[in-house]
Amino acid sequence: MAYDYVERRYGLHFAVGDQVVHTVTRKHGTVMRSKASHRHYVRVHFGTDGAGFCHPQELEKVKP
């Protein structure tokens, strides 16, 4: 799993393709493949705003 560390450390499960909202900025995005050098963050693509690394506790999954 791409975000094993996040799940172990924070008890939060994220998978590539999950739809999320950043609780601070209220931006909606899609979880991307992780980068080994940033394993404690979740990589999210925010559409025209591009991709960014987010703290997992600042993300909420969007229910389909």
Is the pLDDT at 1 greater than 70? The verdict is no
Count of domains for the chain = 1
Locate the DSSP E strands across 1-64. Answer: 19-22, 28-31, 42-45, 51-54, 59-61
Residue 62 confidence (pLDDT) above 90: yes
First CA to last CA distance, the chain: 21
- What would the pLDDT profile of 24-36 be if each residue is shown by its tens digit? 999 999 999 988 7
Burial class, 34, CB count within 10 angstroms (exposed 0-12 / middle 13-18 / buried 19+): buried
CATH for 24: 2.30.30.140
pTM: 0.90
Higher pLDDT, 63 or 64: 63
| Domain of residue 56, residue span | 4-61
